[in-house]
Amino acid sequence: MNSRAILATVSAAATLYAAPFAASPPAAAFVAAAAADSHHYSVSARIRPFLFWISSNDLGDAVVVKHREPQAVRYSLLIGSDPERAPRRINRWGYIDEERRGDEAILLGLMTESDENSVEEAESAIQKRAGQRTFNIIHSTVAGGEARSTVTSIAAPADYSYRNVDAILDLARRDSREGETRMKRLPPGTRPGFLVTLAEVIHGQVTQWQTLHRVTASDPVTYVYHGHLYQLTIVNTRALPSVRVGTAMYEHVISSRFEIRNTDDGTLTPFSMTFGAEGPLAETLLEASYRPRWWIEVQLSLDDTTPGPAVAGGLNP
C-alpha cells in the first residue's frame, strides 16, 4: 500500500464486490468517544460505466477519530462500503491509525485493494472471489530520523466488512505472515503519516483564517508512508461564508483542493476537502471528494446523527 492507496480507501464504494459467506462474522466493537473527538460520515459515489454518471447515496460509512493527550496525538480513519446497502453488495474498506509522540510515531494501515481500470474489470472480480481473501497490514514506526515499515498478511472470510476490522486485527496478531520490511532515512522535517500531516495542514489553514481572516496556499509538506516520501500541497484554497452538506448548513468554512506527489516517480493524487473554520467544528472535515479512477468519484459528507462503527483494538499489540 502506498500513499495513493491510502486515498483509495476513500473510494470504498465501487471497486470490489463481496460474495455471501455462510457464517456471520463477529462485529467490531462500538467505542465511546468520551476522551476523543469522533465524527461519522456518509459515503456516496458516482460511477460512469458509459458516457454518463450514475449516483449511489448512503452506501457506506466513515468514522474519523482524534485523540489528544498532553504529549501525543492520534488519528484514525475507518471507512468502507456496507454490503447490506451498497449495489451488488460492494465490500471495499480500509482502516488507518497513526499516533505521534514528539519525534516518534507508530502507524498501522489495513485495506482491501484493487487495480481495476473500468467498471467491467471490477465486475469480473465477482467471479474470481473465493470464500477467503488476503488482507495486508502495514506496521510502521518512525524514530531517530528513520522509518521502519513491515507488511504482514492474513487470510480472512471474504465477506468481512469494515465492521469486522477488530476481528481481522486480532487474527493478524495471532496468525500472520511477515513480508517485506522497508527502512528509510528521513530528511529533516519529514512528518510521519498521511493523517498526521493532513491534520497539521488543516490546522495551519484554520489558524491563518482566525488570525488574518484570509487563507492562502502554503508550502508543500513532506511525509513518509511505508518507506516512501510524499509531498502534500494545497493547490488552491478559499474561505466561504457557508456551505450546505446534505440537509445541514455550516457557516464559516474553508474549501481546499489538495495534491499528493510521490517524490519517487512524480505521481500526482488530487482530492478536495471542506472543513470548519470557526466554532466547535473548527478543523473538522465537513465533506470530501476523491476520484481514484476516471470512472468513479467518491464523496464523504458529515452525518453525526449516528456514531457509526469504530475499532476498539487500534494500535495495541
Whether residue 316 lies inside any domain: the answer is no
Whether residue 178 lies inside any domain: the answer is yes
DSSP letter string, 114-159: ----SHHHHHHHHHH--SEEEEEEEEEEEETTEEEEEEEEEEEETT
Q: What is the pLDDT of residue 82?
A: 87
Q: What is the pLDDT of residue 254?
A: 98
Residue type, 275: F
Whether residue 292 lies inside any domain: the answer is yes
Angle at 197 between CA 205 and CA 307, to 5 degrees: 85
Q: What is the pLDDT of residue 188?
A: 95
Q: Which three cell numbers stand for residue 298?
A: 467518491
Q: What is the pLDDT of residue 53?
A: 58
Whether residue 167 lies inside any domain: the answer is yes
Whether residue 110 lies inside any domain: the answer is yes
Q: Which three cell numbers stand for residue 204?
A: 495551519
Rounded distance between C-alpha atoms, residue 157 and residue 133, angstroms: 6
- Record the pTM: 0.82
Contact present, 74 and 97 (Cβ < 8 Å): yes
| Domains contained in the chain, number | 1
Whether residue 311 lies inside any domain: the answer is no
For the beta carbon of residue 9, count every other beta carbon within 10 angstroms. Answer: 28
Q: What is the pLDDT of residue 54?
A: 65
DSSP letter string, 64-117: EEEEEETTEEEEEEEEEE-TTTSGGGB--EEEEEEEEETTEEEEEEEE------
Where in the sequence is the domain holding 23, given as residue range(s)?
3-302
DSSP letter string, 248-289: EEEEEEEEEEEEEEETTT--EEEEEEEEE-SGGGBT-EEEEE
* Beta bridge partner(s), residue 170: none
Rounded distance between C-alpha atoms, residue 195 and residue 111, angstroms: 15
For the beta carbon of residue 168, count every other beta carbon within 10 angstroms. Answer: 24
Q: What is the pLDDT of residue 8?
A: 44
Whether residue 317 lies inside any domain: the answer is no
Q: What is the pLDDT of residue 122?
A: 44
Whether residue 307 lies inside any domain: the answer is no
Contact present, 136 and 9 (Cβ < 8 Å): no
Predicted confidence pLDDT, tens digits, the chain (317 residues): 444 444 444 433 332 222 222 233 333 333 333 357 999 999 988 776 666 656 678 889 999 999 988 889 999 999 988 888 877 777 888 999 999 998 899 999 987 655 444 444 444 444 455 578 888 889 999 999 999 999 888 888 888 999 999 988 888 877 666 677 899 999 999 999 999 999 999 999 999 999 999 999 989 999 999 889 999 999 999 999 999 998 999 999 999 999 999 999 999 999 999 999 999 999 999 999 998 776 678 899 999 998 888 676 555 44
